[in-house]
Chain A
Amino acid sequence: MKYIDEYRKKDLILGLSEEIKKISKKEISLMEVCGGHTMAIHRFGLDSLLPPNVHLLSGPGCPVCVSGQHFIDTAIAYSQLTGSIITTYGDLIRVPGSASSLEKEKAGGRDIRIVYSVLESLEIAVKNPGKNVIFLGIGFETTAPLTAAAIEEALKRNIRNFSVLSSHKVMPPVMKALVKDGVKINGFIAPGHVSAITGTGIYAELPGSFGLGVVISGFEPVDMMQSILMLVAQFEAGKPRVEIQYQRVVKEEGNQVAQKLLNKLFELKDDRWRGLGLIPLSGLKIRPGFSAFDAESLFPLEVPVAPEPKGCICGMILRGLKTPLECGLFGKKCTPTDPVGACMVSGEGTCATYYKYRS
Chain B
Amino acid sequence: MSRTEEKILLSHGNGGLKMHELITGLFIKHFGNKILKQQSDSAILPVDSNEIAFTTDSFVIDPLFFPGGNIGKLAVCGTVNDLSVSGAEPLFISVSFIIEEGFPMKDLETIVKSLANEAKKAGVLIVTGDTKVVNKGKCDKLFINTAGIGRIDKAKRIAGKFRSIKPGDLVLINGPIGEHGMAVMNARESFNFKTPVESDCACLNDLIMEVLDHTTSVKFMRDPTRGGVATVLNELTATKKFGISLDEAALPVGKGVRAMCEILGFDPLYVANEGKVIIIAAEKESGRILDIMRTNELGKQSAIIGRIVSEHPGKVVLRTETGSNRIIDSLTGDPLPRIC
Contacts and interface: CB of A to CB of B under 8 A. Distances in A.
B327 A357 contact: yes
B21 A337 contact: yes
Contacts of A91: 333
B268 to A, nearest CB: 13
B190 A10 contact: no
A4 B322 contact: no
Nearest to B17: A337
A358 to B, nearest CB: 7
A206 B284 CA distance: 60
Contact of A44 (B17, B312, B324, B333): B324
Given A13-B322, A347-B265, A103 B259 contact: no
B46 interface: no
B323 A14 contact: yes
Nearest to B319: A45
Interface string B7-18: 111110000011
A107 B190 contact: no
- Give the interface SS of chain B, mostly helix, strand, loop or mixed: loop
Given A46-B324, A347-B265, A337 B2 contact: yes
B3 interface: yes
A116 B324 contact: no
Contacts, number: 79
B8 A107 contact: yes
Interface in A1-24: 1, 4, 8, 10, 13-14
A104 B7 contact: yes
B9 A103 contact: yes
A1 B255 contact: yes
Contacts of A240: none
A209 interface: no
Interface string A106-136: 1110000001110010000000000000000
Interface in B312-340: 312, 315, 320-327, 329, 332-333, 335
A94 interface: yes
Choose among B17, B191, B332 the residue with the greatest number of A CB atoms under 10 Å from its CB. B332
A120 B264 CA distance: 15
A336 interface: yes
A158 interface: no
B262 to A, nearest CB: 6
A80 to B, nearest CB: 15
Interface in A337-359: 337-338, 347, 355-359
Contacts of A355: 329
Given A103-B9, A356-B327, A359-B312, A338 B322 contact: no
A90 B262 CA distance: 17
- Give the interface SS of chain A, mostly helix, strand, loop or mixed: helix
A94 B17 CA distance: 15
Contacts of B3: 338
Interface string B183-197: 000000011000000
Contacts of B320: 43-45
Contact of B321 (A10, A94, A115, A359): A10
B258 interface: yes
A49 interface: yes
A115 B4 CA distance: 26
Interface string A299-312: 00000000000000
A115 B326 CA distance: 29
Choose among B2, B320, B322, B329 the residue with the greatest number of A CB atoms under 10 Å from its CB. B322
Contact of A45 (B264, B322, B332): B322
Choose among A336, A337, A356, A357 the residue with the greatest number of B CB atoms under 10 Å from its CB. A337
B324 A48 contact: yes
A17 to B, nearest CB: 9
Nearest to A339: B332
Contacts of B7: 104, 107-108
A260 to B, nearest CB: 27
Nearest to B259: A1
A4 B255 CA distance: 12
A336 B322 contact: no
Interface string B162-199: 00000000000000000000000000001100000000
A221 interface: yes
Contacts of B323: 10, 14
Contacts of B321: 8, 10
A336 B332 contact: yes
A347 B315 CA distance: 19
Interface string B305-317: 0000000100100
A175 B304 CA distance: 47
Nearest to B267: A43
A356 B3 CA distance: 21
Contacts of A1: 255, 258-259, 262
A287 interface: no
A251 interface: no
Contacts of A104: 6-7, 9
Contact of A356 (B4, B17, B329): B329
17 contacts: A1-B255, A10-B321, A13-B322, A43-B326, A44-B324, A45-B320, A45-B322, A49-B322, A103-B11, A104-B7, A107-B7, A117-B190, A335-B332, A337-B11, A337-B17, A357-B326, A358-B327
Given A13-B322, A104-B9, A108-B7, 17 more contacts: A1-B255, A10-B321, A10-B322, A10-B323, A45-B320, A46-B324, A103-B11, A104-B6, A104-B7, A106-B9, A116-B191, A117-B190, A336-B333, A338-B2, A357-B327, A358-B327, A359-B325
